[in-house]
Amino acid sequence: MAQIFPKWTNQIPKAAPAVLVLGLGFVVFVFWYWFSPWNLEVGYQPEQPVPYSHKLHVGKLGLDCRYCHTGVDKGPVAGVPPTQTCMNCHTNVKADSLSLSKVRESWNTGMPIEWLRIHKVGDYVYFDHSAHISVGIGCASCHGRIDQMVKVRQEKPLSMGWCLECHRDPASHIRPLDKVTDMNFKPSEEWLRVAKAKAKMLHPPIESCSGCHR
Residue 72 in contact with residue 79, Cβ under 8 Å? yes
Convert the pLDDT of each residue in 64-77 to its tens digit.
Answer: 999 999 999 999 99
Convert the pLDDT of each residue in 99-140 to its tens digit.
Answer: 999 999 999 999 999 999 999 998 899 999 999 999 999 999
- Looking at the chain, the whole-number percentage of residues with pLDDT higher than 70 is 97
| pLDDT score at 205 | 64
What does 6-32 look like in DSSP terms, one character per residue? -GGGGGHHHHHHHHHHHHHHHHHHIII
What residue ranges do the domains of the chain occupy?
Answer: 53-80+121-214, 82-114
Convert the pLDDT of each residue in 18-42 to its tens digit.
Answer: 888 888 888 877 777 777 888 889 9
| pLDDT score at 2 | 62
Residue 180 in contact with residue 146, Cβ under 8 Å? no
| pLDDT score at 31 | 75
